Amino acid sequence: MRLPTLRVDARWLQIGFLASFLLLGALARDFAIGPAQVGLCFGAALLTQAAWQWGLALPQRRQWGGYLSALVSSFGICILVRAENLWAHPLLAAVAMSSKYLLRAGSGEVRSHVFNPANLAAFAAWAWLPGAWLSPGQWGAQTLAALWFIALGLVVTRQAQRWDVSVVFLVSWAGLLAARLVWLGYAWDPGAAMWLQQVGNGAVLLFAFFMISDPMTTPQRRGARLAYAAAVAAGAFAWQYLAFRPHGLIVVLFAASLAVPLINRRWPQPRFAWTQAVHP
Amino acid sequence: MRRLIAAAFALLLSASAQAFCGFYAGKADASLFNEASQVVIARDGPRTVLTMVNDYKGALTEFALVVPTPQVIRQGQVRVVDKAVVEHLDAFSAPRLAEYHDSDPCRFDFRWGERQRLYEPAYVAEARAAPLPVPSVVRDAALGVTVEARYTLEEYDIVSLSAMQSDGLETWLAENGYRIPKGASAALKPYINQGMKFFVAKVNLQNQAQTGYTMLRPLQFAFESEKFMLPMRLGMLNAPPDKPQDLIVYVLSRQGRVESSSYRTARLPTGVNLPFFAKPVFKQVYQDMFSEQARREDYRVVFTEHFWNMGFCDPCAAEPLTLQDQRKLGAFWVGGGDPVQNFKALVTPGAEAGKMDAAQMSQRMSWDSPVMVTRLHLRYTANSFPEDLMLTQTSDQQNWQARYVIQQPYDGTLGACFATLNGKDCEALCKPKVAGWLSAKGMGYPKPGVNSDDPLVLQRDCESVCTAAKQAGLQTAGNYYQRELPERLQREKLALAQLTGWSLARIDALPDAQRYASSSPAPAVDKPWWQRLFGRP
């Protein structure tokens, strides 16, 4: 099936979607984030991006593309990270944007930053920052339908890009959770509701569509990329349900990102560019 | 034959968390809507101490508790806790009503040629919300497959079981005189498949008589497990799928606030001003408010009722727990001694905890105690909470409490104010002031409104200031009794209606609700009434 594709930078769609997420959370889900934290986060991300673009005298320093990424990352950080102070969000935003220039790997056409900025920020918030934390339960279970529809709409519009990663990840994750419930011997009731509750978590959907699908930090070769998505799901499952540790998706994606440069070297493919023409 | 009750079973599940869940028998089908299971979890890293509270009031021969545990709970890992300590924790963390009193609006703020005085701070008092009643759990009996341990601890006979198959466990329980709810086998199976064991307790009547307690005391286990959860699903066994049950979880933690990772954790509305006449019915207000909020969230939310450092409180519904009492509830990392050794003493028979530091013990209030208490309140149904309660510790250390405010109106009337002010004799009041001012000649005193040393001129000036002060006092009181107070009460009534879902008619029917509704007669239309009273513009 061939769907019409939009010739706009896909990040505009991301920004619209993420903004709606943040608004929904702040207005309907009492997200514990203040306007000052949001403002500082965005300000720090944009300023850091500008500083790197101009400081390194990059050829594209006069273009807006980098700032779109900064906006996407800022939304991600505001949606995921909670803090009891005003400095955590801007600090994380600055670190996340800087990581795009400081933590790079690969050579030639596959050279890219290593970590998805929002993933790095979320991991750092949980693992290293005092007074900052993640709230995976913050979405509740009832936003499920809405989030799914929006996410699917986004998948459609982005069908030429990385939808396959999202789908493979979700199928793997949902399959592992279902297998666990079956193995534990849950009956259909409450097993089915339990499964829906686990899979339909807003944090899972956000991860699937906005983090692991990042074309810059996933393997460039399609086969490797899909295997990577499945491996992240398996790793996160083991972390969360076998080792009983928190925040499996964030932690395992962070660790797995380190392997992406090696995968790209073994199975090279020209790297993705946000502004390239989208070929249906 | 022992009977399991829904509430008991609920606890059973909830206790299990990692481990345990208790279920005990309580009153069958008592109105759970108003009863809550209570669990205290003290946890640092994987080291966990879990206390299950039971306010079982039925026949002791009918009491039984079944709790899934992550490991076999042996003698030395279990103890009996003084229930008063948990009640103290409940009191410390209970949603509270803070009460303030309006000062007398009928002020005679008359100063002439003298230094100003500061107003006295308003008196503040607090009243504690009565804690919600604790549900009791009853259970009939449990049966097991392998008896891993069997011992008597104080008033309890305890058996630790491991099972290979849920139907085997169900059979064992039945053969040993426990009647378990229908569907228990299916509910037990996932716990067995996770490798959990089962802790079963019943009352040893002989020992119970010797303890002298009329109530059963809480049981406490210590264990290590990475899993941070409460197996609350087990407790839903014999509840109708849509019947709400309550669970209150207190977590003593070291890093910060605890929230659910599997469900949304929300805060209750707090800091809301309620009408003064709601004070005598605050308990009802809180219960209805909680019901209303839970209903609006479709029973799918974990509510935070309190999160506070154990070192202090403001306002205090009850004093913070002493370090001894915190240790009794399992906070093994406070009070001195090596925490690892302290914990070891909780799981090993005969092991000694580290010595408690007497200096630390005597200190009660401190601003940064290493123990924080999170109080979570769930009202759930089997349908709305399909999976067990998974918990996670955040590094949030911002104190927060569910607190409601009563601002007591001043107990006076405009008429009384007029009488008081009218009784002030300005001429007599001014004479000593004028004389005093003349003799001090203004050293450090503000100048009066006239530039003169003539006592008559000064006296006249002072009297006019005095009269103005009377007018101002009466005006303030008039505003207060006739405008501010009725308007404020109206706002507070609306807030109360919004919180609880009560109708305004119901609120207006509360005792005292009309006290300020139609107070003094309306002021004169043509000119302000106080001007007429004093005959001055």
According to the model, what pLDDT value does residue A95 have?
94
Mean pLDDT of B252-273: 91
CA proximity to B322, closest of B77, B92, B45: B92
Work out the pLDDT band at B102, boundaries 50, 70, 90.
confident
| Residue numbers of A between 16 and 35 with CB closer than 8 Å to B | 29-30
Average pLDDT over residues B478-489: 90
Model pLDDT, residue B115: 53
In this predicted structure, the answer to whether residue A269 has a pLDDT above a threshold of 60 is yes
A8 vs B392, higher pLDDT: B392
* pTM of the complete model: 0.82
Maximal C-alpha separation, chain B: 107
At B388, give phi and psi (nearest 5°). -65, 160
CA distance B402 to A140: 21
Q: Are B384 and B296 in contact (CB under 8 A)?
A: no
**Chain A partners within 8 Å of B392 (Cβ):** 136-137, 246
Contact A84 B228 (CB under 8 A): no
Residue A120 above 90 pLDDT? Answer: yes
- B266/A142 touch (CB, cutoff 8 Å), yes or no: no
Nearest to A137 among B192, B263, B267 (CB): B263
Q: Cβ of B351: how many Cβ atoms within 10 Å?
A: 13
| CB-based contact, B383 to chain A, within 8 Å | yes
- Map residue B10 onto helix, strand or coil: helix
The beta-carbon neighbor of A246 closest among B383, B392, B395 is B392
**Has residue B300 got a pLDDT over 60?**
yes
Mutation target for A interface from B253, B395, B397: give the one with most A CBs within 10 A.
B395
Q: Once rounded to an integer, what is the mean pLDDT over residues A179-196?
A: 89
Pure H helices in B165-303: 166-175, 184-193, 205-211, 282-296
Q: So what's the pLDDT on residue B31?
A: 28
Nearest CA in chain A to B227: A244
What are the strands, taking DSSP E only, across B254-318? 258-260, 264-267, 272-274, 301-309
Is it the case that residue B135 has pLDDT exceeding 50?
no
Answer whether A250's CB lies under 8 Å from A125's CB. no
Whether residue B125 is predicted with pLDDT greater than 60 in this model: the reply is no
Question: Can you give the pLDDT at residue A144?
Answer: 59
Residue B8 has pLDDT above 90, yes or no: no
Q: Is pLDDT above 50 for B30?
A: no
Indicate yes or no: CB of B193 within 8 angstroms of CB of A185: yes
Q: How many whole angstroms separate alpha carbon B77 and alpha carbon B103?
A: 56
What confidence category does residue B118 fall into, taking pLDDT thresholds of 50, 70 and 90?
very low
Q: Nearest 10 degrees: CA dihedral of B157, B163, B166, B172?
A: -50
Per-residue pLDDT tens for A47-75?
999 988 888 877 777 777 788 889 989 99
The answer on pLDDT for B498 being more than 90 is yes
A139 part of contact set with chain B, CB < 8 Å? yes
Q: Residue A273, SS3? A: coil
pLDDT by residue (tens digit) across A200-259? 788 888 888 888 888 888 888 888 999 999 999 999 999 999 998 989 999 999 999 999
Q: Which of residues 210-249 of B touch A (CB under 8 A)?
A: 225-228, 233
Report CA Rg, chain B. 31
Q: Write down the pLDDT at residue B6.
A: 32
pLDDT computed for residue B524 by the predictor: 42
Cα dist from B43 to A121, B83, B272, B312, B326, whole Å: 27, 19, 32, 20, 12
User: How is residue B362 written in tokens?
Assistant: 């005597």
CA distance B225 to chain A (A): 9
Report the pLDDT value the prediction gives residue A277, as an integer from 0 to 100.
Answer: 42
Cα(B435)–Cα(B439) distance, integer angstroms: 6
Dump pLDDT digits (tens) for A122-150.
Answer: 999 999 998 899 988 887 766 555 566 56
B395/A131 touch (CB, cutoff 8 Å), yes or no: yes
Q: What is the mean pLDDT of residues B60-77?
A: 81
Q: Are B196 and B68 in contact (CB under 8 A)?
A: yes
Burial annotation B92-124 (CB, 10 A radius, 16+ → b, else e):
bbbbbbbbbbbebbbbbebebbeeeeeeeeeee
Cβ-contact B172, B143 below 8 angstroms:
yes
The pLDDT of residue B106: 85
Q: Render pLDDT for A97-118 as a digit per residue (tens, 0 to 9).
A: 999 888 887 776 667 888 999 9
* Distance of alpha carbon B444 from alpha carbon B347, whole angstroms: 73
Look at residue B281 and tell me whether its pLDDT is greater than 90. no
Nearest CA in chain B to A248: B261
pLDDT beyond 90 at B322: no
Yes or no, beta carbons of A190 and B227 under 8 Å apart: no
- Going by pLDDT thresholds of 50, 70 and 90, the confidence category of residue A159 is low
The residue-averaged pLDDT of B30-55 equals: 76
The whole-number pLDDT of residue B197 equals 87
Residues in Cβ contact with A158 at an 8 Å cutoff, skipping those fewer than 6 apart: A10, A13
Which chain B residue lies closest to A190 (C-alpha atoms)? B386
Q: Is the pLDDT of residue A179 over 70?
A: yes
> CA A185 to CA B190: how far, in whole Å?
5
Nearest CA in chain A to B396: A131
Shortest distance between the Cα of A22 and any Cα of chain B, in A, equals 16
Q: What is the mean pLDDT of residues B507-535?
A: 62
Rounded to the nearest integer, the mean pLDDT of chain B is 77
Residue B215, pLDDT score: 74
| A-B contacts at Cβ under 8 angstroms | 83
Contact A137 B189 (CB under 8 A): no
Residue A8's CB: how many other CB atoms inside 10 A? Answer: 10
pLDDT score of B302: 94
B188 — pLDDT class (breaks 50, 70, 90):
confident
Cβ of A136 and B261 within 8 Å? yes
Strand partners, B157: B152, B202
Residue A219 contacts residue A261 (beta carbons within 8 Å): no
Q: Could A137 and B265 be called an inter-chain contact, meaning their C-beta atoms sit closer than 8 Å?
A: yes
Assess whether pLDDT exceeds 70 at residue B392. yes
Whose tokens are 């996160």? That residue is A236
Choice among A215-229, B64-78, B143-157, B271-285 with the minimum mean pLDDT: B143-157
Separation between Cα atoms, residue B9 and residue B290, nearest integer Å = 23
Comparing CB atoms, the residue among A30, A134, A141 nearest residue B300 is: A141
